[in-house]
Chain A
Amino acid sequence: GESVGLHLPTLSVQEGDNSIINCAYSNSASDYFIWYKQESGKGPQFIIDIRSNMDKRQGQRVTVLLNKTVKHLSLQIAATQPGDSAVYFCAERWEGANNLFFGTGTRLTVIP
């Protein structure tokens, strides 16, 4: 399953499938990006980050891809599990800024 982030805030996938969550960020001068996962009733939790001098970074079951040309960030989750159901946010840090700016978020629902 694949979302387009800001334009499709919900994504439903079958358990075991791969998920792709997309994010269009705002500032071409952003130098650092993070994906966060927020489960119901909890605060956002760090998943993976990537610096602007990289195109791809892999973690455990997750991969982040960065396309600076079109200001696009994606989070790929392999073999999606019910525990992956949450709202996912991309966040960017503008170069020289002191904090993160968050995108709208995408709600991922995993169907057992």
Chain B
Amino acid sequence: DTAVSQTPKYLVTQMGNDKSIKCEQNLGHDTMYWYKQDSKKFLKIMFSYNNKELIINETVPNRFSPKSPDKAHLNLHINSLELGDSAVYFCASSPRMGGSEAFFGQGTRLTVV
């Protein structure tokens, strides 16, 4: 059983398009996150979401918006994609806020052309 699953694993799209990445966790965790990993492997928090409380990293452009239909899902919508958005995006979950023992998905490699 996959604890944190993301779809798609690979996504290639043109500049200006709008795309979504889906994430689901079956761990019963209360908190979910989105991280961005750049080409140098640097992992940066984008959002954390707990019980309908959304905490946004202020450096994330407002073209990025997380949406959580329920506690087990946190999807990432990206509008007007730019070349610089190319990266690997990781969804993660943890039992509670604070990031303790966060479990990560396998990542979605987004390539904007």
Is residue A58 contacting chain B, with contact meaning CB distance below 8 A?
A: no
Interface residues of chain A, those whose CB is within 8 Å of chain B, are 32, 34, 36, 38, 41-46, 49, 87, 89, 91, 93, 97-102, 104-105, 107
Q: A42-B107, A43-B104, A43-B107 are in contact. Are A99 and B33 (CB under 8 A)?
A: yes
- Identify the stretch in B14-22, B37-45, B64-72, B78-86 within 8 Å (CB) of chain A at 4 or more residues: B37-45
Minimal beta-carbon separation of B89 from chain A (angstroms): 10
| B52-95 with Cβ < 8 A to chain A | 55, 90, 92
Main secondary structure of the interface of A (DSSP, over half): strand
Number of cross-chain contacts by CB at 8 Å: 67
B89-113 vs A: 1/0 string, CB under 8 Å? Answer: 0101000011111111111000000
Inter-chain contacts of B50 with A (CB < 8 A): 98
Cβ–Cβ contact A89 & B45, under 8 A: no
Q: Is the CB of A93 within 8 A of B99?
A: yes
B101 touches A98 (CB 8 A): no
CB distance from A72 to the nearest CB of B (A): 20
CB–CB A104/B100 < 8 A: no
Neighbouring A residues of B107 by C-beta, 8 Å: 41-43
In the bound complex, CA of A101 to CA of B43 (Å): 8
**Cβ of B48 and Cβ of A42 under 8 Å apart?**
no
List of B residues within 8 angstroms of A32 by Cβ? 98-100
Contact of A104 among B35, B41, B45, B102 (CB under 8 A): B41
Q: Do A98 and B99 touch across chains, with their CB atoms under 8 A apart?
A: yes
Interfacial chain B residues near A99, Cβ < 8 Å: 33, 45, 48, 55, 97-99, 102
Give Cα distance in the complex from A98 to B102, angstroms: 11
Report yes or no: A102 in contact with B42, Cβ–Cβ below 8 A: yes
Report yes or no: A44 in contact with B104, Cβ–Cβ below 8 A: yes
The CA of A107 and the CA of B41, in the complex, are separated in Å by 10
Asked if B103 and A98 make an inter-chain contact with CB atoms under 8 angstroms apart, the answer reads: no
Contacts of B33 in A (CB 8 A): 99
Q: Are B100 and A105 in contact (CB under 8 A)?
A: no
User: Roughly how many angstroms separate A97 CA and B48 CA in the complex, as a whole number?
Assistant: 11
